[in-house]
Amino acid sequence: MNCTFCHTAVPPHSRNCPICQADVGFPNVRVTQTTEESGALLVRVQDAVLSSKLRGCEMVLERFERTVQDSKAVLCRNLELLNDLVSSENALYISFQKQVKAGMRLPKEDLWEIGRPAVESTLFPHYEEEINFMCLTLNNRGLTNYGAYSITLKEPMICRRSSVFEENPFLFMEKHRVVAGHPVPCGFRASWDDRGKLAMAKLHSKLEKNTKMSNSLKFC
């Protein structure tokens, strides 16, 4: 993209124009709006609609999209971290990679944490440190294997800077055999406002005529 103000080419990872420093938007959100990404997601959504029509559950698919449009972002952590965050108005939550870089956290010597920087930099090249990972929830509960306490985020605080991705990036890269540093297949990420569309594309085959929407809706 080019800067709106000085027309200089802006690298995909930059939040600011390198020449005039104008804010050009969050790179993780901008990438979801490229022709390649939005076009590939549209094709998946069209496939989801067609497939649901053939199975007689297109209304269920529509309700599912509306339900996911009301989902929230959630993260789970232990009580100690939660206490630190609420004890001070100046406490900030920073990404795993920033914590490691700052010397606040020792990375584990396991497959996940050794591979994590490569996976995250493949998905968000040169700005992976800025990304905090959450999941979507319909019932205010998150993945408690990360901690017993679910923290849901206020939508107005995150809706302009958040994007959604198909699944755990580590598992996605394995499944799609993406080599570190290579392009990630298009159509598997969306802006916050399009999270319902991504959910339709991902989960339409699990919907049936009698699927009921509730806050305990669970899909794998």
- Give residues in contact with Zn ion (CB under 5 A): 3, 5-6, 8, 17, 19-20, 22
Identify which of residues 22 and 153 has a Cβ nearer to Zn ion in the complex: 22
CB within 8 Å of 167: residues ≥ 6 apart? 202
Order of all β-strands in the sheet with 149-152: 135-137, 72-77, 149-152
Identify which of residues 9 and 50 has a Cβ nearer to Zn ion in the complex: 9
Is the separation of the CB atoms in 44 and 201 below 8 Å?
yes
- Convert 163-174 to b/e letters by CB count within 10 Å (16 or more is b): bbbbeebbebbe
- Cite the beta strand spans of 8-54 per DSSP E: none
Identify which of residues 12 and 56 has a Cβ nearer to Zn ion in the complex: 12
In angstroms, give the least distance from the CB of 6 to Zn ion.
3
User: Of how many residues is the chain composed?
Assistant: 220
Could you give the 3-state DSSP secondary structure of residue 65?
Answer: helix
Phi/psi at 126 (5° precision):
75, 0
Give 149's strand partners.
Answer: 77
In angstroms, give the least distance from the CB of 121 to Zn ion.
26
In angstroms, give the least distance from the CB of 22 to Zn ion.
5
Identify which of residues 8 and 140 has a Cβ nearer to Zn ion in the complex: 8
**The pair of three-digit structure tokens given for residue 146, joined into one six-digit string:** 């990360």
Beta strand 189-191 with 72-77 is: unpaired
CB atoms within 10 A of CB 190: 24
Identify which of residues 9 and 157 has a Cβ nearer to Zn ion in the complex: 9
In angstroms, give the least distance from the CB of 2 to Zn ion.
8
In angstroms, give the least distance from the CB of 17 to Zn ion.
3
CB within 8 Å of 146: residues ≥ 6 apart? 75, 76, 77
Identify which of residues 23 and 174 has a Cβ nearer to Zn ion in the complex: 23
In angstroms, give the least distance from the CB of 7 to Zn ion.
7
